[in-house]
């Protein structure tokens, strides 16, 4: 089963359950100043989850391309990409926990064909201090579904994140967490803004017994331990509380928000803990192997970074973003320059990005026709950015190595030089330094930002004077 099939199965499943399928939102949300990019299917629907009526009704679904630049440092692992597609469905007062948990189960088990024996879930374990009960309803619904599949669902509550890693939870089908399984705009129940809705969530994990557990994440592997054995494939949020002046009250209209990782579910469907093996990423990796003459097995993190960043850039450019030194454009530039740096590292020369992007454009030809429509602009923007950065990349790396020999930590002015003269985004320079074992001073980033601000003011002043 490939990504296109999983995507289609999901939408058909939701149509069968009377949902209206919405068009995807762009990656840059025009009226949302809170984040640079659409990072979940829920984000464009927030006004409706907060109470407004949606013109398409109370049962909605879509597949939303997402960009999480906050996950950039995770890229290279088996399951985080900055760009991914999120499957989403929402109930605006139409249905609640039993229907939602069953909807998700039927999709994953009956439609996609995942092995119920390898499904593990987490629930909200309650907070005595705040007087919020555990989400026993969700636990009960899960227990019944597992029981119907002949599986006994043991439950363990891991009260805090820190203690979670040390408690014996191996084999527990249902894990309760106090800190992780709660959603509101402000985070946990304590920090929920007054007047806002929120509530418990329940996450779904797929277990890969052959993956070695990384002991850095604690002795006992368990869902959410991030050790690689459990892949989070979906998450249902139940908005049932309203934060008032004196605590939590029941919300009159209860909503559901489900988000599922398309690539991760497609990976589970082919029994791969590595999301890069799915049909929307693997052809890009194969192209990289072909171009470089090197094997994915030997260049795993680098090829993952290049594949992810180029794919994300393709969608960003199609949605109107261009590389620049500010905001959205800066994130795009950062992705591209990071990809170029890694391409250089595996011996790939100028022109790599657009060659690789052609593969990505092709992958999404049917699912996202607007990508193919923007093909020429995408390839031209990538070629231009690569040409520019390639000109100074080798010199910049040489400068960084030279600075490393000075036997002192890098400061803000070093980072500014690397940016000004060699086009190194500050995050990339910092990351490179770390890889080379060069220290960076604590205040370096702040000093860099100050230098940037000063430079912008100067250039603004000179433009005004010249006008």
The strand pair at 197-207 and 182-184 is best described as: antiparallel
- In angstroms, give the least distance from the CB of 279 to ligand ATP: 15
Task: Write the interaction track for ligand ATP spanning residues 81-100; mark x where CB under 6 A is met and - where it is not.
Answer: x--x-x--------------
> How many residues sit close enough to Mg ion to count as binding (CB under 5 A)?
2
Residue 386: contacted member of ligand ATP, Mg ion, none (CB under 5 to 8 Å, by partner type): none
342 vs 419, beta carbon nearer ligand ATP = 342
Query: Closest Cα partner for 108 from 139, 146, 60?
Result: 146
d(C-alpha 371, C-alpha 362), whole Å: 9
Cβ-based nearer residue to Mg ion, 34 or 152: 34
Q: Which is nearer to ligand ATP, 189 or 261 (CB)?
A: 261
Query: Please, where are the H alpha helices in 426-466?
Result: 426-435, 444-466
Pick 71 or 319: Cβ nearer ligand ATP: 71
Are 233 and 268 contacting, i.e. CB atoms less than 8 angstroms apart? yes
Beta strands (DSSP E) in 29-114 are 59-67, 83-92
C-beta closer to ligand ATP: residue 108 or 400: 108
CB of 281 to ligand ATP, least distance (A): 10
Phi first, then psi: give them for residue 77, nearest 5 degrees: -80, -175
- Dihedral, CA of residue 378, residue 382, residue 383 and residue 386, to nearest 10: 180
Closest residue to Mg ion, based on beta-carbon distance? 235
Which residue's CB is nearer to ligand ATP, number 22 or number 204? 204
Identify residues 31-50 at the interface with ligand ATP (CB under 6 A). 40
What is the smallest separation between the CB atom of 71 and ligand ATP, expressed in angstroms? 4
425 binds, among Mg ion, ligand ATP, none (CB under 5 to 8 A by kind): none
Listed ranges 77-85, 127-135, 211-219, 413-421: which one lies at the site for ligand ATP (CB under 6 A): 77-85
Binding flag, residue 259, ligand ATP (CB under 6 A):
yes
Q: In the complex, what is the shortest distance from the CB of residue 291 to Mg ion, in angstroms, rounded to a whole number?
A: 31
Residue 19 carries which DSSP code?
A: P
Q: How many CB atoms lie within 10 A of CB 464?
A: 8
- Provide, rounded to whole angstroms, the least separation between the CB of residue 203 and Mg ion: 5
Where does residue 55 rank: exposed (0-12), middle (13-18), buried (19+ CB within 10 A)?
A: exposed
Distance CA 173, CA 295 (A): 37
Residues 6 or more apart in contact with residue 144 via CB below 8 angstroms: none
Minimum CB distance to ligand ATP smaller for 217 or for 291: 217
Binding residues for ligand ATP, total number by CB under 6 A: 16
Contact 291, 352 (CB under 8 A): yes
Least distance in angstroms from the C-beta of 80 to Mg ion: 7
Number of H helices, E strands in the chain: 15, 10
Q: How far is the CB of 68 from Mg ion (least distance, A)?
A: 7
Per CB under 6 A, the list member of 58, 71, 299, 399 interacting with ligand ATP is: 71
Cβ atoms of 301 and 339 within 8 Å: the answer is no
> Which CA distances in Å does 13 have to 108, 162, 285?
10, 38, 31
Q: Which does 220 bind (CB under 5 to 8 A by kind): Mg ion, ligand ATP, none?
A: none
Spatial separation of the C-alpha atoms in residues 457 and 254, rounded to whole Å: 49
CB-nearer residue toward ligand ATP: 264 or 341: 264
135 versus 232: smaller Cβ distance to ligand ATP: 232
184 binds Mg ion (CB under 5 A): no
The interface with ligand ATP within residues 220-239 (CB under 6 A) comprises 232-235
94 backbone dihedrals φ, ψ, rounded to 5°: -85, -45
Q: Is 164 in the site for ligand ATP (CB under 6 A)?
A: no
CA proximity to 205, closest of 306, 108, 307: 108
Pick one of 235, 255, 292, 430: the residue that binds Mg ion (CB under 5 A). Answer: 235
Sign of CA dihedral 295, 298, 301, 306: negative
User: By CB under 6 A, is residue 68 in contact with ligand ATP?
Assistant: yes
119-124 and 59-67 as β-strands: parallel, antiparallel, unpaired?
unpaired
The site string for Mg ion over 195-234 (x = CB under 5 A, - otherwise) reads -------------------------------------x--
Collapsing DSSP to helix, strand or coil, 289 comes out as helix
Q: How near is the Cβ of 364 to Mg ion at its closest, in Å?
A: 23
Q: Name the residues that contact ligand ATP, by CB under 6 A.
A: 40, 68, 71, 80-81, 84, 86, 232-235, 259-261, 263-264
Q: Name the residues that contact Mg ion, by CB under 5 A.
A: 232, 235
């Amino acid at each position: 089963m490939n990504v296109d099939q999983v995507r289609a199965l999901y939408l058909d499943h939701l149509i069968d359950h009377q949902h209206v399928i919405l068009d995807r939102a762009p990656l840059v949300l025009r009226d949302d100043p809170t984040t640079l990019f659409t990072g979940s299917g829920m984000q464009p629907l927030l006004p409706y989850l907060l109470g407004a009526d949606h013109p398409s009704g109370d049962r909605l679904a879509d597949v939303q391309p997402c960009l999480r630049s906050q996950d950039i440092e995770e890229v290279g692992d088996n399951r985080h990409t900055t760009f991914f597609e999120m499957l989403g469905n929402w109930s605006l007062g139409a249905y609640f926990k039993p229907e939602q948990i069953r909807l998700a189960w039927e999709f994953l088990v009956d439609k996609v064909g995942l092995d119920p024996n390898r499904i593990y879930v987490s629930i909200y374990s309650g907070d005595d201090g705040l007087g919020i009960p555990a989400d026993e309803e969700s636990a009960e619904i899960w227990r019944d579904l597992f029981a119907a599949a002949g599986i006994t669902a043991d439950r363990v509550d891991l009260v805090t994140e820190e203690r979670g890693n040390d408690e014996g939870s191996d084999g527990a089908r249902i894990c309760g967490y106090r800190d992780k399984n709660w959603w509101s705009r402000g985070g946990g129940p304590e920090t929920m803004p007054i007047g806002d809705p929120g509530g418990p969530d329940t996450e779904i994990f797929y277990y890969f017994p052959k993956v070695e557990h990384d002991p850095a994440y604690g002795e006992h592997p368990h869902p959410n331990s991030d050790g690689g054995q459990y892949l989070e494939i979906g998450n249902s949020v139940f908005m049932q509380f309203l934060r008032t002046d004196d605590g939590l009250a029941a919300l009159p209209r209860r909503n559901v928000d489900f988000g599922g990782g398309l690539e991760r579910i497609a990976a589970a469907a082919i029994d791969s803990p590595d999301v890069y093996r799915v049909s929307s990423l693997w052809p890009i990796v194969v192209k990289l192997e072909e171009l470089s003459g090197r094997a994915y097995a030997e260049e795993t993190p680098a090829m993952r970074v290049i594949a992810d960043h180029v794919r994300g850039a393709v969608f960003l450019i199609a949605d109107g973003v261009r590389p620049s030194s500010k905001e959205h454009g800066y994130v795009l530039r950062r992705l591209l320059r990071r990809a170029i740096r890694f391409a250089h590292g595996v011996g790939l020369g100028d022109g790599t990005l657009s060659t690789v992007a052609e593969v990505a454009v092709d992958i999404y030809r049917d699912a996202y026709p607007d990508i193919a429509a923007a093909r020429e602009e995408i390839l031209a923007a990538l070629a231009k950015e690569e040409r520019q950065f390639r000109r100074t990349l080798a010199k910049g790396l040489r400068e960084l190595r030279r600075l490393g020999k000075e036997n002192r930590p890098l400061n803000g002015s070093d980072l500014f030089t690397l940016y000004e003269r060699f086009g190194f985004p500050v995050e990339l320079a910092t990351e490179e330094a770390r890889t080379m074992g060069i220290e960076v001073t604590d205040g370096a980033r702040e000093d860099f930002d100050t230098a940037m601000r000063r430079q912008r003011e100067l250039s603004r002043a000179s433009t005004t004077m010249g006008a």
